[in-house]
Amino acid sequence: MARAVFTFLFAMAKKSEDGRRRGLTTEEQELWQRVTVGTKRLDKASPNSPTGLGTDEPESEAAGDTSVATPQPARKRPASPQADRPQSPPAREPDLSHGSAAGIDKRTLTRLRRGLIPVEGEIDLHGYTYENARRHLERYLDVSQAVGRRCILVITGKGLRVEGGRGVLRTSVPQWLNEPPCRDRVLAFAYASSAHGGMGALYVLLRRRRP
């Protein structure tokens, strides 16, 4: 059969003497019939076709694609600019001084300086050593704030007999009130009126404890 097909193709390739493609001779027509006898059309392959030619299914589906997709590495999200910024420490509250303070209204501060805010408790630091006086002051402020006291009196003494005319406690107590843990509890302080000891005592206005 292969030889017959070759002979037919060779005959079709021949041209007439004038260069035109010639028609088939009777012998060539008989040869063509021999070639096409038993040939089936392969537009669509039969279900039993071993090669699967002409099927409409993609090759991967017909053969059963068993390949596994390669996992892609997860992309890392860019870090937030705020996450890279160092956390700044909380701003320190300004130091308090006698008769002046930030964060309270002027009327309240004036009433404190004049002794018009009722005194709800007092502590006398006379007779305590330096360290004991500080511990007692811190403890008293804590208890006073816990029970809801608003204004207390801290007696330091004038200390006029010591060198320089100022006592240790009179100088140190305002410093302690500006340092933790006292500073977190105190809104303002001022020298007391003459009725409460004058410059030898302090009115201390406490913060209200948050619930």
pLDDT at residue 185 greater than cutoff 60 = yes
Q: What is the pLDDT of residue 92?
A: 62
Higher pLDDT, 183 or 68: 183
Higher pLDDT, 54 or 138: 138
Nearest CA to 143 among 101, 115, 197, 182?
A: 182
Percent above pLDDT 90 for the chain: 43
Pick from 49-53, 155-159, 200-204 the range whose average pLDDT is largest: 200-204
Q: What is the mean pLDDT of the chain?
A: 75
Q: What is the pLDDT of residue 26?
A: 76
Q: What is the DSSP string of 133-164?
A: HHHHHHHHHHHHHHTT--EEEEE----TTSTT
The whole model's pTM is what? 0.56
85-131 per-position pLDDT tens digit: 656 555 566 788 887 877 789 999 999 999 999 999 999 998 899 99
Token pair for 133: 């006086």
12-40 per-position pLDDT tens digit: 555 445 555 556 677 767 766 776 665 55
pLDDT at residue 144 greater than cutoff 50 = yes
Token pair for 105: 């209204």
Q: What is the mean pLDDT of residues 177-202?
A: 95
Q: Compute how many other C-beta atoms are within 10 angstroms of the C-beta atom of residue 145.
A: 18
Pick from 50-54, 60-64, 141-145 the range whose average pLDDT is largest: 141-145
Question: Quick one: which H or E segment has residue 204?
Answer: strand 201-206
Rounded CA-CA distance 123/152 in Å is 8
